[in-house]
Structure 1
Amino acid sequence: MIKHKFYLIISFSLLFQTIITSQNSWQLIGLKKLRIEYVYAKGDTIWTTTEDSLYNHETYYSYNGGEAWSKFELNNSEFGGGYTLKTIDPRNTQKMYITDWYGRPWKTKDAGSSWEYLIPEAEPWPVDAWRPRVKDIYISPHNEDVLFCIITENGQVDNLYRTSNGGKNWVNVSSFAASSHGVELSFAFDLLDTTKIFVSADNNIGYQAFYTSYNLGNSWDLLTELQTFANKIIVNHIDNNIIYRFLKPYRSLDGGFTWKRIMEDLIKEDVPYQPSITSVIINQSEPKILYASLAKIDILNNVLIPMGVYKTQDGGDNWGLMKGSDNIDLITNEFLPILFFDSIQQNLFIGTQHGLFKFNAIVSIKNCKAIPTKLKLNQNYPNPFNPNTIISYQLPVGGFVELKIYDQLGREIKTLVKEEQNSGFYKFNFEVKELSSGVYFYRLNVSESNRNSSFVETRKMLILK
């Protein structure tokens, strides 16, 4: 069943507005004396992996937004004395992936009650100093059984492995050009194309190649070569031609063929202090908003000097320091902060060496009494989503309004609105249950009452289950 609720927010007769911004200061929400190495949040549910002064790893979770925390107990002797939480499936937070003391991957479907050993290579898994270690695990946003993992082998070389059956069988898909396949790999899914992925491959001598695959890694196309190392790729989930590469920040507007430096006013190589991005995250509901934590690297003394968290609202052209973030004890010379953004409650989390901090970025409008100045269809929020999202639009004058949902083949799925409406701001709560994961489109068609004209606009949205 597809459920939807429709609300008229503002009528044309109202004359003024009051904007109320939620408290936007950094708040310590727990785990004060621990280093935070991993953060995942969805609404009031938060999971985090910590490390103490003796390098012992523990996982904690909260179901009330950080007001109370519980320790995640794992009583499995096969883990070899320790584990690290790697990733959580956003479609089902009971499904988690960890690596044990030996760097081997494990999966649970029931929040840790039982575990399944995932074997990216033939048994037995070596336990010597040069054993393979799973560095990262990535879950496909389109198919929960498709996973990729980066495995460091022989103590120095990264390889990319893929499974299409939830981890039962794996294949090495590292068929990159020999000159570029080397020490470090970074990886990203395309959130719009179900079979498209990206890899940045470094050979540790300054050569960096950027690849894409249109068949989940069976073959690769070299898009460009750069002389800078990348440890993270971010693909815009609304326009997949917009791609970011970090450490040194670059942005591509043509799908990865050409790149341009961003943040040049902040990232200047002023030896002995070289500013660098230590963590970066995109706002899933507003993809032009990104957050990045910065630090200066003192090469002579081998220490990091924190600079705070910076934010851009225009896709990377301009960045500003988030108030108060430069006062948080973010970094030591052994630890880098971790950023995570929860699009449901608009919370930005930063894991530091002294606990987990939260910054709420919601700006709410109450008693809003303004007349819209232009006709506009907004991007749905959150996006991607499951099971519901908000579609909003504004009408400067009244008219006949149609709001419809279409699939990728252009077939009409649902009519949400088909009626005369007054001018004002409108939002629509669209809930889906029987629709499968994938890209859909919503189209607004308005025939204005006092004009012999019509307005049509279409936007993409992504359902993840």
Structure 2
Amino acid sequence: MKKNIDFKMRFADRIYKYCFNDGILTDDRVTAIWDSSCKVISKAMLCEIARWGDERGQPYDYEHWKEECKDVRDDLIGRAAKFVAETKKAGMYPDLDPPVFSNRSKVILKSIYNCPANFYVKISFLYPQPGTIFYTTDGTDPRMWDLTGNVSPTAIEVSGKETTIPIQQVTTIKARTKDGDTWSPLHEIKLIPSKTSPVVINEINYDSDSNFNTEDWVEIYNNSDADIVLDGWKLKDSNDDNVFEFSPATMLKQGSYLVVCFDTLAFKALFGSVENYTGNLGFKFGTEGDAVRIFDNDNSLVDIVEYNDQSPWPLSPAGKGPTLELANPDFDNALPESWKASIDFGSPGRINTMFTVMAVKDDHGIHKVPEIFTLSQNYPNPFNPTTIISYNLPKSSHVTLSVYNIAGQLIETLVNRQQRAGTYQVRWDARNISTGIYFFKIKAGDFQQARKMMVIK
């Protein structure tokens, strides 16, 4: 197999995919997975230690186990680089780097990248090296797979050392470097421009858990900078005969949510604190896949989501409790990659549990890595009903951002996930929160900080 040039290329492609950029075997990803696994079993280990002791039957304490976890974690760092070096030595990985993708001097590491509208991506070499860049935007490979290793007729050759491509729709770019008969591994990226729909389908509950049966509901979100009266607007599934008409008095304020329910009594019985809902729908959504569509008063299609219960769509919303949540209202909700399975039974009428932000750029559009951890004062403050909380991460960390009342009781957890270094913003919707003083607290690694804010209604 080592003499088969197509097999060797496939092998190198797989190594590059997993060991570079945001690959699963990169230091950040593999240590994050290890940390998460240790956290999951940490409480159980206390019981196991008390019961069994160590591998020799001798008792040892919890700190000993934590040190063992740290030793394994330290050993994981650098493993990908060592593996690449060994495969190069064995002649199974080329000594030729693929081109990189960037925007305004910022290299894009993700294989799926949610970018702003009117985005430009540059294809270039990260460091000076020999060779010519070839790329495609039609989903094909720049390299032929017929044991010749020739350039594909669909490939576009870059004149010089770089080129810039405008991204106006969802685009997959596949790029390689070729020097003589040697090809670099494949570097592939999927770019997803932001949507600009004023009303966005933001969350879908299409198959409730039998133990928490709210019946079907859909959450819509006003992603514009103006209030919208939904007089004459309609919500449909894939069947044009199934129509829900919004009442003439329905107002969707800017930055607000509205839940449309199949059965408002069933919904309210389990989500008693949610007030921004309407119904009843005269139809249910398909449990194996369907469409959710919104039309304005001119019968023009405003937004559509065609989901199903198969990968790459999240699987657990199909009868297991979670809902389908859009990671960010600015993401393209027509794409499965933009959706996540919610925590617990979803977040109707408020910010999604899996809300994801993109790192904030400076005035030149460049992502800058902060030098220190910081938690900024929310803005506006005081506020009603929403505010923005910003924080800086100088390195990849597991971040928890939570809101507490003056008595120290947890009100809501806004963030609970691993995040890369960068500057982040999270919107908190206090629409269902009483007037008063609240505290927001961040924990990122060893860094902790809290600030005070005030809700006024």
Q: TM-score range by the shorter chain?
A: under 0.3
- Higher gyration radius (CA): 2
State the TM-score, normalized to the length of structure 2: 0.22
State the TM-score, normalized to the length of structure 1: 0.22
Structure number with the higher helix fraction is 2
Structure number with the higher strand fraction is 1
